[in-house]
């Protein structure tokens, strides 16, 4: 029944995209034809007759993937197997602020700063030399409506002065000493602390260089992880910080019943993983997995061919001696991907690995190791809620119609009348875009798209993840013995 409902949902979406939302095509439109069509856009009859609703529990497809071909399925831990609550972000923010005051001698007044979980989002770029946060599309173009220095919106003139051409320049891999991207959920409270502290210091006229504050916060955050302070706090309060995930055990059991081999590959220490997995699956959670690897130091795990595996003792210390096989029931640390293939005999082309961090978890496996990859993108839940709202669907329908009219009328230039309508419809389009922006909670709006283009975040997602979903447990709705993830065919610009 679940499969039938999903097939019906997909068919409805395809039909809706072709007939309900798609603009009417004119083989040889005159200006009068376009004007008449424009008048109809705002009428109730031109709105979608059937609500186009997305399923928040769906697994979305970038590239065709057949589950029956995947003999081995692996998982990261943080934000993949373990979905943390938003309260954890507040806690990390408060711990960072406390560390700045106690170890870096920042003004005690910053202790009153509060965390706003809706301000920043993954995919946002930031300039460490100025404290400017910006949204960037797939072609590295800065989106003028979504540029802030701390909490101050940067005006167009200042934006052009800071970044000529409104473009960011860095390597194809996204590396830059000046510009960084928020790719990890753990970064959100860290970067919001930087934003908040900079904003406070600017209000007191005591303004150190943004890089200095950035490095102080990075060092305090690193100490929370390296010294184990954060992990210890989470373990003591595991019920507060781990989201209930009742379908996780059912999903793992389903995969085991289909004779899939399962493994965990995480950068977190075993004692931390053990507490979380016991909370979610019970004391016998390790029986669900064939191999457990902690402290893997991804992406180094995929790049360094000479880091050997070490078996952990019951005291969580590395045992003496060479690891000659990876046994079920044991826990290992460090290692490298080449030895993982050698010691298990797994075929890289039959491995499907899920993670939440595109660069550390997914990029290297899919680009250079032959693995298949799936991304866990928490932000999809709020995004889909918005896409399903009536106000969003109405405005998006009007926006698509206006985009079509603006494209079509260009064929009639340089007719002065065509110029007049082009300008008029561009103004209307801007108004609709503004209305769509107000529907988002974050000032940076959608994580996945700009007005016309995907964001750089989504472009990387589509390259590094063959499938993606909001929660790992959503896989329980897909039969691993025969389900084939198939992407929707997208018309290229020259095919439309």
76 flagged as catalytic: yes
C-alpha span between 295 and 278 (Å, rounded): 19
Task: Output the CA torsion 88→93→97→100 (10° steps).
Answer: 100
Place of tokens 């102080």: 216
CA angle 176, 179, 183 (to 5 degrees): 95
DSSP, res 194: H
Catalytic residue selected from 78, 127, 356, 361: 78
The set of residues, in sequence order, having a beta carbon less than 8 Å from that of 132 and lying 6+ positions away, is 126, 147, 148, 149, 154, 162
Provide the token pair at 220: 């305090």
Those residues whose C-beta lies under 8 Å from the C-beta of residue 292, and which sit 6 or more positions away, are 263, 264, 270, 273, 286, 330, 331, 332
Beta-carbon contacts of 490 under 8 Å, excluding residues fewer than 6 positions away, are: none
Contact 323, 308 (CB under 8 A): yes
Residue in 76, 127, 137, 339 annotated catalytic: 76
Question: For residue 432, what are its two tokens?
Answer: 């609709």
Residue (of 474, 476, 470, 83) closest to 256 by Cα position: 476
Tell me the residue ranges of DSSP E strands in 362-471.
372-376, 467-469
Give dist(CA 20, CA 483) in Å, integer: 29
Residue among 179, 192, 187, 86 at smallest CA distance from 140 = 179
In the residue annotation, 161 being an active-site residue is answered as no
d(Cα 476, Cα 480) in Å, to the nearest integer? 9
Q: CA–CA separation, 215 vs 190, rounded Å?
A: 11
Distance separating alpha carbons of residues 93 and 113, to the nearest angstrom: 9
Q: Which residues are catalytic?
A: 76, 78
């Amino acid at each position: 029944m679940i499969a039938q409902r999903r097939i019906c949902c997909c068919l409805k979406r395809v039909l809706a995209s072709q007939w309900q939302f798609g603009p009417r095509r004119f083989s040889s439109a005159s200006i009068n034809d376009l004007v008449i069509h424009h008048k109809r856009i705002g009428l109730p009859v031109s709105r979608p007759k059937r609500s186009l609703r997305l399923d928040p529990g769906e697994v979305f497809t970038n590239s065709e993937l057949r589950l029956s071909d995947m003999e081995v399925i692996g998982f990261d831990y943080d934000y993949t197997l373990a979905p943390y609550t938003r309260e954890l972000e507040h806690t990390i923010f408060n711990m960072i602020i406390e560390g700045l005051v106690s170890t870096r001698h920042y003004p005690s007044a910053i202790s009153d700063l509060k965390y706003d979980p809706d301000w920043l989002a993954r995919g946002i770029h930031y300039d460490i030399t100025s404290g400017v946060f910006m949204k960037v599309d797939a072609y590295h173009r800065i989106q003028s409506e979504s540029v802030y220095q701390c909490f101050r919106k940067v005006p167009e003139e200042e934006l052009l002065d800071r970044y000529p051409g409104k473009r960011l320049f860095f390597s194809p891999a996204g590396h830059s000493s000046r510009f960084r991207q928020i790719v990890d959920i753990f970064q959100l409270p860290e970067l919001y602390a930087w934003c908040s502290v900079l904003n406070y210091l600017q209000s007191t006229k005591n303004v150190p260089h943004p890089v200095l504050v950035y490095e102080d916060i990075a060092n305090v955050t690193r100490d929370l992880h390296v010294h184990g302070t954060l992990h210890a706090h989470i373990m003591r309060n595991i019920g507060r910080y781990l989201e209930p995930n009742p379908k996780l055990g059912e999903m793992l059991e389903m995969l085991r019943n289909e004779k899939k081999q399962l493994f965990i590959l995480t950068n977190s220490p075993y004692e931390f993983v053990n507490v979380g997995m016991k909370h979610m699956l019970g004391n016998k959670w390790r029986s669900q997995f064939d191999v457990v690897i902690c402290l893997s130091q991804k992406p180094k795990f995929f790049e360094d061919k000479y880091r050997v595996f070490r078996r952990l003792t019951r005291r969580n210390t590395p045992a003496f001696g060479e690891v000659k096989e990876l046994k079920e029931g044991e826990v290992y640390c460090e290692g490298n991907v080449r030895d993982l293939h050698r010691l298990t005999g797994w075929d890289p082309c039959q491995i499907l690995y899920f993670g939440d961090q595109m660069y550390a978890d997914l990029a290297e496996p899919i680009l250079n190791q032959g693995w298949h990859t799936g991304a866990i993108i928490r932000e999809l839940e709020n995004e889909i809620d918005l896409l399903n709202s009536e106000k969003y669907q109405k405005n998006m329908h009007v926006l698509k119609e206006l985009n079509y009219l603006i494209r079509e009328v260009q064929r009639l230039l340089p007719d002065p009348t065509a110029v007049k309508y082009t300008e008029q419809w561009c103004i209307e389009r801007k108004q609709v875009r503004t209305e769509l922006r107000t529907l988002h909670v974050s000032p940076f709006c959608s994580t996945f798209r700009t007005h016309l283009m995907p964001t750089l975040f989504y472009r990387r997602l589509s390259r590094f993840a063959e499938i993606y979903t909001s929660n790992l447990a959503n896989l329980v709705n897909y039969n691993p013995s025969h389900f084939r993830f198939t992407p929707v065919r997208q018309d290229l610009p020259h095919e439309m």
